[in-house]
Amino acid sequence: MTMRAIRGAIQISDNTVDAIHDGVKELISTIMRANSLTPQNVISVIFTSTPDLTAAFPASACREIGFESVPLIGAVEVDVPGALARVVRVMVHCESTRSLESISHVYLHGAQSLRRDIAQ
């Protein structure tokens, strides 16, 4: 197995605990499925959120779906004028047998506009 980094992002519908948790769970679950991973394959996860998302920590949602033993950390994105609002970004470090070219990076909802080159 080789260490890989998988990127992703999702635009959250609203600055509420439920919306943030639902969005993070959707994003992480989609990344895991698309790359045939389980939490046991994950080394660590880094989350960033735009400054307008203050109702919940993204990592807390991840713990609810089986990541209790995985190191998780969150940070705030740079507040760039005109940037897409209500976005959670993620970088998942994992062990995988997949090649770099076969890794699926996941951009959901409005966040697809962030990486049109690799978004589904």
Class of domain 2-115: alpha beta
Per-residue pLDDT at 112: 82
Per-residue pLDDT at 117: 63
| Rounded CA separation 2/22 (Å) | 30
Task: Answer yes or no: are the C-beta atoms of 4 and 98 closer than 8 Å.
Answer: yes
| Rounded CA separation 105/19 (Å) | 22
pLDDT in tens, the chain (120 residues): 899 999 999 999 999 999 999 999 999 999 999 999 999 999 999 999 999 999 999 999 999 999 999 999 999 999 999 999 999 999 999 999 999 999 999 999 989 887 666 545
Q: What is the pTM of this model?
A: 0.93
| Rounded CA separation 51/44 (Å) | 23
Per-residue pLDDT at 1: 82
| Rounded CA separation 94/29 (Å) | 14
| Rounded CA separation 108/101 (Å) | 20
Per-residue pLDDT at 18: 98
**What are the C-alpha distances in Å from 42 to residues 1, 29, 48, 83?**
12, 13, 18, 29
